[in-house]
Amino acid sequence: MALLLYSAYLLVRETRALRILYGIFVLGVIYLIGQIFNLVALNFILRSVFAVTLVAIPVVFQPELRAALERLGRGQVLSSLRSSRRSTLEYGLEELIREIKILAKSKVGALMVFERSTGLKDLIDTGVSLNADLSAELVDSIFNRKSPLHDGAIIIRGNKILAASVFLPLTEEVEDSSLGTRHRAALGLSKETDALVVTVSEETGRISLANRGRLERIEVEKLEKKLKRALIKND
């Protein structure tokens, strides 16, 4: 039943049908209250309304019902359940990759942390809480040199930027002494957690990926493939 109800929700979300369902639910609650307190006149009116509603539902929901039957015939209902979260996250990553290209070309420094199985709440609490949808425009505004959030890292969980201006633990154990603060911070966190950390150098515009204590310079196309492989579960 839960699966069927959630499937129905996916079919009507972001359509006017969802608002109509909310209205029917509110009428149902009022009818229940009328039954409890034996409000005869109210119950009579609501019964009449429900009778008309049963006739009106197929007419009002015609586009949604037609789409549902079509998708059911193509076997797409279950696949939409699996792909809903995946497609949202994939779109967010593609938006982010687009912005990373711009940051690298403009030599704007950036530090981005992708949370995986190890929780980063202790770090999130030290930054500026955002809990905003991942988008290229938001990332651009955060790392703009004039932004007060420019320094520090953003922490990303799924398709959300949870916090900005987060300062990460630095590592002193580096093979390359020329590495700057961002790269040391990326290495430091990747040694302590399973997070993926992306840096854009302010001096050279080069992109690097830190993973499990290793830092590699990486092309943006390869970075996109690695992030999708690591963060998107292929259920």
CATH code of the domain in which 168 resides: 3.40.1700.10
Residue 137 pLDDT more than 90?
yes
Q: Are residues 185 and 218 in the same domain?
A: yes
Which of 48, 168, 68 lies closest to 120, judged by CA? 168
Sign of CA dihedral 8, 11, 15, 16: negative
Q: Are residues 69 and 114 in the same domain?
A: no
> Which phi-psi region, left, alpha or beta, contains residue 87 (left: φ > 0; alpha: ψ -120 to 50)?
alpha
Mean pLDDT of the chain: 83
Place of tokens 């938006």: 95
68 — pLDDT class (breaks 50, 70, 90) = low
Q: Does residue 195 sit within a domain? A: yes
pLDDT value at residue 88: 75
Over residues 204-215, the mean pLDDT reads 93
Q: How many domains does the chain have?
A: 2
CA 72 centroid distance within chain: 27
Helix (H, G, I), strand (E, B) or coil at 197: strand
Name which of 44-53, 75-84, 197-206 the model is least confident about: 75-84
Q: Does residue 219 sit within a domain? A: yes
pLDDT value at residue 17: 64
Q: Does residue 80 sit within a domain? A: no
Q: Are residues 169 and 205 in the same domain?
A: yes
Q: How far apart are CA 210 and CA 206, in angstroms?
A: 13
60 — pLDDT class (breaks 50, 70, 90) = low
Residue 11 pLDDT more than 70?
no
In the DSSP assignment, the letter for residue 91 is: H
pLDDT value at residue 86: 60
Residue 153 pLDDT more than 90?
yes
Q: Are residues 37 and 144 in the same domain?
A: no
For the whole model, what pTM was predicted? 0.64
Q: Are residues 104 and 158 in the same domain?
A: yes
Q: Are residues 100 and 146 in the same domain?
A: yes
Domain around 215: 88-231
